[in-house]
């Protein structure tokens, strides 16, 4: 069954015209009043900060009758060069044990046959160990040269300890290298509790690049770089690969066909409460998408462009924090009660301007570590 899921975003799209509504929301069950929030809390007298206290928190699940888009193409990509002969082996160089995010670490190696003679021209690729077995890393492919030598990037684009190997397809199976391990450190100390994150089990296939599109109509001038920066943080947290697929005219969760979501991947748009009814009232962003069984097929993030955001990634009502929150929903994250997480439903500003400990644990569960779909 195809379902359309979306939820209301962090904060009010407009300040309550009087203090009554705002205070009532502050006292709502299960909410942490801003005065009790952690670091980065807004100054209580600032209007924009008080706006941050309003929210609509519930995750709304709407049964949909619209047939969702087809599943994205799945499967590992292996160069269709010559297959290495039976008995071939792959030798690889050692790698550093611990590295920083995105540090370029080259894995050098050679494909040889059973007698140790070099085998040139075979396809090689990096696979990482996941809960579902070995998984190909999108884009980590190459072809061995005439002497069987190759250079491939180690998987340093996402956090955690990654056990990986290099494989080469052969006529009778797959030649594999000894496994290597590399740990990618988080460049900040994530705040909060590891168990704070909650996820919907439906996820994008991490073994296929996820395309994304942006509707620039009404978007801020830096929309492209803003979305790319948010996706870079999501990639670091999940191991998912995102590729820009161009602009589009859709507005997620509007009355457009399929709710304004792209045919596959994630669509981003800035719009008004008139165009997206879910943004009326106190919500200023929506995120979510289509799922089919365990697979997330297309998602959307829509931001209320009539709201006056702060620039940057930290503090209440920052545009970066809002995009990260709604992107979290688009990937499958749900609201949490830990106020230090990006997925806390009050826009009080998560520490570090990034996903924190609970967010990261939840994102890991729907990323490459979970294996291919
Ligand atoms: Zn939310």
Q: Could you tell me the distance, in angstroms and rounded to a whole number, from the CA of residue 240 to the centre of ligand 1?
A: 21
pLDDT along the chain (373 residues), means of 10: 36 23 21 22 24 26 26 37 74 96 96 89 94 91 95 96 93 87 96 86 93 97 97 98 97 91 96 93 90 93 93 93 97 94 91 96 95 92
CA-to-CA separations, 140 to 22, 242, 244, 340, 351, in angstroms, rounded: 51, 14, 18, 35, 33
* pLDDT for res 100: 97
Helical (H) or strand (E) element with 29: none
Output the CA angle 141-146-152, nearest 5 degrees. Answer: 25
Q: Could you tell me the distance, in angstroms and rounded to a whole number, from the CA of residue 160 to the centre of ligand 1?
A: 26
Residue 371's region, left for phi above 0, alpha for psi from -120 to 50, else beta, is left
Domains (ranges, CATH) in the chain?
2-71+188-370 (3.40.390.10), 89-185 (2.60.40.1930)
Q: Could you tell me the distance, in angstroms and rounded to a whole number, from the CA of residue 324 to the centre of ligand 1?
A: 10
Q: Could you tell me the distance, in angstroms and rounded to a whole number, from the CA of residue 108 to the centre of ligand 1?
A: 44
Q: Could you tell me the distance, in angstroms and rounded to a whole number, from the CA of residue 346 to the centre of ligand 1?
A: 8
Q: Could you tell me the distance, in angstroms and rounded to a whole number, from the CA of residue 9 to the centre of ligand 1?
A: 4
Q: Tell me the sheet residues that pair with 152.
A: 107
* pLDDT for res 54: 25
* pLDDT for res 50: 22
Residue 90's region, left for phi above 0, alpha for psi from -120 to 50, else beta, is beta
* pLDDT for res 80: 45
Q: Could you tell me the distance, in angstroms and rounded to a whole number, from the CA of residue 333 to the centre of ligand 1?
A: 9
Q: Could you tell me the distance, in angstroms and rounded to a whole number, from the CA of residue 77 to the centre of ligand 1?
A: 35
d(CA 315, CA 351): 8
Q: Could you tell me the distance, in angstroms and rounded to a whole number, from the CA of residue 308 to the centre of ligand 1?
A: 18
Q: Could you tell me the distance, in angstroms and rounded to a whole number, from the CA of residue 314 to the centre of ligand 1?
A: 17
* pLDDT for res 302: 97
Q: Could you tell me the distance, in angstroms and rounded to a whole number, from the CA of residue 325 to the centre of ligand 1?
A: 6
* pLDDT for res 199: 86
* pLDDT for res 88: 86
> Can you spell out the DSSP letters for 323-340?
HHHHHHHHHTEE--S-TT
Helical (H) or strand (E) element with 322: helix 319-331
Q: Could you tell me the distance, in angstroms and rounded to a whole number, from the CA of residue 335 to the centre of ligand 1?
A: 6
């Amino acid at each position: 069954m195809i379902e359309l899921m979306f939820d209301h975003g962090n904060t009010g799209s407009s300040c309550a015209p009087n203090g009554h509504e705002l205070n009532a929301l502050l006292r709502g069950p299960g909410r942490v009043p801003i005065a009790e929030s952690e670091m980065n809390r807004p100054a209580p007298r600032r209007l924009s900060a008080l706006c941050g206290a309003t929210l609509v928190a519930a995750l709304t699940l709407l049964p949909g009758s619209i047939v969702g888009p087809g599943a994205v193409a799945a499967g590992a990509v292996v160069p269709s060069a010559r297959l290495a002969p039976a008995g071939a082996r792959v030798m690889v160089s050692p790698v550093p044990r611990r590295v920083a995010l995105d540090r370029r670490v080259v894995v050098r190696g050679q494909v040889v046959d059973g007698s140790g003679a070099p085998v040139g021209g075979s396809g090689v690729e990096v696979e990482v160990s996941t809960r579902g077995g070995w998984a190909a890393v999108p884009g980590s492919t190459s072809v061995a040269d005439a002497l069987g030598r190759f250079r491939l990037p180690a998987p340093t684009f996402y956090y955690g300890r990654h056990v990986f190997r290099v494989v080469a397809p052969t006529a009778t199976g797959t030649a594999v290298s000894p496994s290597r391990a590399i740990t990618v450190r988080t460049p900040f100390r994530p705040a909060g509790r590891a168990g704070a994150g909650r996820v919907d089990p439906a996820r994008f296939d991490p073994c296929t690049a996820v395309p994304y599109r942006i509707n620039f109509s009404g978007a801020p001038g830096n929309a492209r770089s803003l979305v790319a920066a948010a996706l870079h943080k999501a990639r670091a947290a999940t191991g998912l690969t995102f590729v820009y697929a161009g602009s589009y005219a859709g507005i997620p969760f509007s009355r457009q066909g399929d709710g304004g979501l792209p045919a596959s991947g994630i669509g981003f748009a800035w719009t008004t409460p008139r165009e997206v009814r879910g943004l009326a009232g106190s919500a200023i962003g929506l995120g979510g998408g289509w799922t089919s069984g365990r697979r997330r097929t297309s998602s959307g993030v829509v931001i209320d462009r009539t709201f006056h955001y702060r620039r940057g990634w930290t503090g209440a009502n920052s545009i970066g924090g809002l995009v990260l929150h709604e992107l979290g929903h688009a990937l499958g994250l749900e609201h949490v009660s830990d106020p230090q997480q990006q997925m806390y439903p009050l826009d009080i500003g998560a520490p570090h301007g990034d996903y924190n400990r609970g967010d990261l644990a939840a994102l890991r569960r729907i990323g490459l570590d979970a294996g291919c779909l």
